[in-house]
Structure 1
């Protein structure tokens, strides 16, 4: 990798990340997102997992974190690409030596920092609210970090690939809706074993279920495993599925991004801008 592009990309990513915390709309959006999750978990604090005395609220925290990684990884990466393609940012990057490489490093950096910040904003209050979380101390946090890293690798390239296929920023809704449907069957707010077996099978195809399971294995005590499929944390299948999604994403994303970059030209940007102005008018 070109060291100049790497340094430029890292600097760009850090600047973009900081900008999200100087924009009032972005900050409010982050706070509302965190408040909604924390409020939901608060009202679940006195409920228990079926067949156990373990708090349902505590058991839900890892699933929420895993869902956040998938949602931000897929829709965040896709949204960035769609918006930057529409406003000409990608065209300017393409016209600069090593610009596309620096652009991709920058977006990956900004998204990764945003993921870490969002996770910390949810996890830290929950550690105080639910004493049963992270029973193994430092090992629990290292385990969680490992799951987070592989989870980002399994989702952000797929998000970039989807973003390269989007015609405009408005079409990102076509990605958001399936991700929300994925969350509904992935055992975020209730054990996946409460669902029909065929639904459990569908859930296990996608990374959201496995990220939630991996984070539960990191943050919950062994007594909570009784509500999981097969009453096991299944570490090897978790690793295998997430690595498989990472490989698929890393294979598809470069091909689709190169194709998208080749098609970018001043005329295409102007055409999209004209269509946007017609819709506004």
Structure 2
């Protein structure tokens, strides 16, 4: 095969991918998402770590800090459950996804994939489907543990289910887009500290390990700039009794602000993906 033939073939492939109808790209994306989901659940170590880590942390925290507020009737294990659901969503999307994409880029898989007729959007749709499946499974496990052991109630009516649904979807969307964009800062899948350090800091200041209202005011303000704080607050509004709203620093659930912040991060993540996403590693030129 001559160089001219290779050039023409590559150009034709790129044109086919770029001009693919949206319905075709969506269908391929869903098919790729099903494949990636199967690969995730067949990877026993990855699945075990993804599902067990939040549960272990929840059990440890609930054993060490077991206190029930006499004014609201809410216990710290119930609060920790809502926080770990937020961590699970962010861990499946931003943390795991960014490391996975960085590994694929480092191994040259993205570079090879870019040379196939697969539309770029189908690749991202596949990742979103995989994140939705893994995070839904993780959320279901945490809800079951919270319900069985700590008396966490499931949403009691359609309004609370609706709140749970839009907070979950906005959280997954914003964190998935941020995870895709954040992968550009990771050299390989072995560079986990680049993700783990900021994730750990955010967990401590966002009401996951420590009740948010008990944090210093400065840390509360700092956490309010990031999605995890609002994701956890949204979960508290859907899963905890209405009486707990008085324990929130603002004295309300602030649903409008939750939607605004998570939506803003989704837009920021999308813009970063469009402008900075790289299909090749730094050494590939």
TM-score for both structures, normalised by structure 1: 0.86
- Name the CA distance, whole Å, in 2 between partners of 1:31 and 1:135: 22
What are the within-5 Å matches in structure 2 for residues 165-244 of structure 1? 165-244=185-264
- Name the CA distance, whole Å, in 1 between partners of 2:62 and 2:210: 15
1:9-35: CA deviations, max 9, x gaps?
211211221222222212332343144
1:196-228: CA deviations, max 9, x gaps?
111111011111100000110011111112221
Corresponding residue for 2:120?
Answer: 100
Corresponding residue for 1:39?
Answer: 59
- 192 and 95 in structure 1: CA distance in 2 versus 1, 3 angstrom threshold: same
Unaligned runs of 5+ in 1: 270-281
- 2:110 pairs with one of 75, 90, 109: 90
- Name the CA distance, whole Å, in 1 between partners of 2:137 and 2:195: 23
Corresponding residue for 1:27?
Answer: 47
CA-CA distance at 1:138 after TM superposition: 4.0
- Name the CA distance, whole Å, in 1 between partners of 2:64 and 2:245: 19
- 1:133–1:220 Cα contact (<8 Å) kept: yes
Corresponding residue for 1:65?
Answer: 85
Q: Matched residue of 1:21: which SS?
A: helix
Corresponding residue for 2:284?
Answer: 268
- Name the CA distance, whole Å, in 2 between partners of 1:41 and 1:264: 40
- 1:93–1:100 Cα contact (<8 Å) kept: no
- 1:255 pairs with one of 275, 278, 285: 275
- 1:132–1:221 Cα contact (<8 Å) kept: no
- 1:73–1:152 Cα contact (<8 Å) kept: yes
Corresponding residue for 2:174?
Answer: 154
- Name the CA distance, whole Å, in 2 between partners of 1:117 and 1:150: 17
- Name the CA distance, whole Å, in 1 between partners of 2:81 and 2:173: 21
Corresponding residue for 2:96?
Answer: 76
- 2:54–2:84 Cα contact (<8 Å) kept: no
- 176 and 2 in structure 1: CA distance in 2 versus 1, 3 angstrom threshold: same
Corresponding residue for 2:135?
Answer: 115
- Name the CA distance, whole Å, in 2 between partners of 1:34 and 1:196: 25
> Number of aligned pairs?
265
- Name the CA distance, whole Å, in 1 between partners of 2:55 and 2:168: 22
Q: Matched residue of 1:230: which SS?
A: coil
Corresponding residue for 1:279?
Answer: none
1:229-280: CA deviations, max 9, x gaps?
12211111111111111111111111112xx13x569x729xxxxxxxxxxx
Unaligned runs of 5+ in 2: 1-20
Which moved further from structure 2: 56-65 or 215-224?
56-65
CA-CA distance at 1:59 after TM superposition: 2.1
Corresponding residue for 1:10?
Answer: 30
- Name the CA distance, whole Å, in 2 between partners of 1:45 and 1:167: 38
- Name the CA distance, whole Å, in 1 between partners of 2:152 and 2:130: 32
TM-score for both structures, normalised by structure 2: 0.85
- 2:206–2:212 Cα contact (<8 Å) kept: yes
- 200 and 45 in structure 1: CA distance in 2 versus 1, 3 angstrom threshold: closer
Which moved further from structure 2: 110-119 or 20-29?
20-29
